[in-house]
Amino acid sequence: MHKWHGIAEKTDFVSFNHLRETFSSADYVRPYTIFNVGGNNYRIITVVRYCDHKIFIRWVLTHREYDEWFGIYRKGKA
């Protein structure tokens, strides 16, 4: 996570495509941008505001916790 933070802090992303150039495993699940970190063991769920180059961390979850969260999110309950 420290590596992710160091890169994210220094880069001003202008779009999701630009972000994917640096973080190729990132996914967009409206309205969240999800980063796989720690050897795919963790997920950082964020909201990215490209207009002012800000990344807001909403949750940091293990892979298992993310799977549970995503199931709830898909049902519209998260």
- Looking at residue 26, what is its pLDDT? 97
- Looking at residue 78, what is its pLDDT? 63
Which tens digits make up the pLDDT trace of 26-73?
A: 999 999 999 999 988 999 999 999 999 999 999 999 999 999 999 998
- Looking at residue 74, what is its pLDDT? 83
Asked if 53 contacts 13 with a C-beta cutoff of 8 angstroms, the reply is yes
- Looking at residue 19, what is its pLDDT? 97
Estimate the share of the chain in helix, then strand, then coil, as percent rounded to the nearest 5: 40, 35, 25
User: What's the farthest any 2 CA atoms get from each other in the chain?
Assistant: 35
- Looking at residue 1, what is its pLDDT? 82
* The total number of structural domains that make up the chain: 1
- Looking at residue 77, what is its pLDDT? 66
Dihedral of the CA atoms 61, 66, 72, 78 (nearest 10)?
Answer: 40
Q: Give the domain range for residue 63.
A: 2-74
